[in-house]
Chain A
Amino acid sequence: MKYLAIIFLLFITTNLFSQANTIPPADIPRIKQQAKDYIFEFARYMQKLGSDAGLTPEARTAIGDNLISLFDEDATIQVLNLRKNKNTYAIAPYIKNVVALYTKRFKFVIFKFKSITYDFNNLTPVKNSNGEITAYKFTYTFVQDFCVTNQDTDSETWDPKKLESYDVCEETTKTGEIIIKKRVSPTIGARWVVLLGSIQVNKIDDLKD
Chain B
Amino acid sequence: MIRKIFSAILFLIMLYGCDSRQMKTAEIEIVIFSPLDSTNNGHFPTPIQELIKPLEGTCTPKANIVFDPIVFSRVDINQKQQLQYKTNKATDYTKIKAVERSLRVFMEDSLMPKFLLAPQDINFAVDDYINGKNGNENYVIFKTSDDNTPTSALPKYGNMTDLKGAISKLICEKNLSKIYILYEPQRTSGKNINIDNKSKSDSKIDTPPPHLLANGLKQEILDVLMHIRDTHNSGANRLRLANDAMHTTFSKDFYVIMHNDDARALERIWERGDGIKYLKRIATDDSITGFEVLKVETNTTDNKVSHIEIVEKHNK
Q: Hey, which bits of chain A sit against chain B, CB under 8 A?
A: 27, 29-31, 33-34, 36-37, 41, 44-45, 48, 52, 54-56, 58-59, 62-63, 65-66, 69, 185-188, 191-194
Asked whether, in the complex, the Cβ of A186 is within 8 Å of the Cβ of B272, the reply is: yes
Residue of B nearest to A60 (CB): B284
Contact with A along B261-276 (1 / 0, CB 8 A): 0011110110110000
The reply to whether A34 and B266 form a contact with Cβ atoms under 8 Å apart is: yes
Q: List 20 A-B contacts (CB under 8 A).
A: A29-B264, A30-B263, A30-B264, A30-B266, A33-B265, A34-B260, A44-B287, A45-B285, A55-B235, A58-B236, A59-B236, A59-B239, A62-B239, A62-B284, A65-B280, A66-B280, A66-B281, A186-B272, A188-B257, A192-B266
Complex contact B284–A66 (CB within 8 A): yes
Check B299 for interface membership: any CB of A closer than 8 A. no
B248 contacts the other chain (CB 8 A): no
Known contacts A30-B265, A56-B235; 10 further A-B pairs (Cβ under 8 A): A30-B264, A33-B265, A37-B260, A41-B285, A185-B271, A186-B272, A187-B257, A187-B269, A187-B271, A193-B266
Closest to A58 in B: B239
| Cα distance A142–B261 in the bound complex, in angstroms | 23
- Contact partners of B239 in chain A: CB under 8 A: 56, 58-59, 62
- Which of B257, B283, B285 sits near A44, CB closer than 8 Å? B285
Q: Cβ of B255 and Cβ of A66 under 8 Å apart?
A: no
Query: B204 on the interface (CB 8 Å rule)?
Result: no
Q: Does any Cβ of A come within 8 Å of B131's Cβ?
A: no
**Closest CB in chain B relative to A111 CB, distance in Å:** 15
B50 at the interface (CB under 8 A from A): no
Closest 8 CB pairs of A and B: A62-B280, A33-B265, A34-B265, A34-B266, A33-B264, A30-B266, A66-B281, A59-B235
B227-244: CB near A (< 8 Å → 1, else 0) gives 000000011100100000
Asked if A188 and B269 make an inter-chain contact with CB atoms under 8 angstroms apart, the answer reads: yes
- Give the residue among B265, B269, B283 with the most A Cβ atoms within 10 A: B265
Residue of A nearest to B270 (CB): A69
A186 to B271, Cβ gap below 8 A? Answer: yes
Most buried by B among A36, A44, A48, A62: A62
Identify the B interface with A (CB < 8 A).
234-236, 239, 255, 257, 260, 263-266, 268-269, 271-272, 277, 280-281, 283-287, 307
Which B residue sits closest to A183, measured CB to CB? B269
Beta-carbon contact of A185 and B281 below 8 Å = no
CA distance A189 to B272 in the complex (A): 13
Contacts of B287 in A (CB 8 A): 44
Q: Hey, which chain A residues are within 8 Å of B284, CB to CB?
A: 45, 48, 55, 59, 62-63, 66
User: Inside 8 A of B235's CB, which chain A residues have their CB?
Assistant: 52, 54-56, 59
Q: Which residues of B contact A36 (CB under 8 A)?
A: 265
In the complex, the chain A residue whose C-beta lies closest to that of B240 is A58
Set of chain B residues within 8 Å of A192, measured between Cβ atoms = 266
The answer on a CB contact under 8 Å between A37 and B285 is no
Q: A62 to chain B: which residues have CB within 8 Å? A: 239, 277, 280-281, 283-284
Q: A33 contacts B260, CB within 8 Å? A: yes
**Contacts of A187 on B, CB cut-off 8 Å?**
255, 257, 269, 271-272, 307
Residues of A within 8 Å of B286, CB to CB, are: 48
Decide: B271 and A31 in contact? CB cutoff 8 A: no
Q: Which residues of A contact B265 (CB under 8 A)?
A: 30-31, 33-34, 36-37
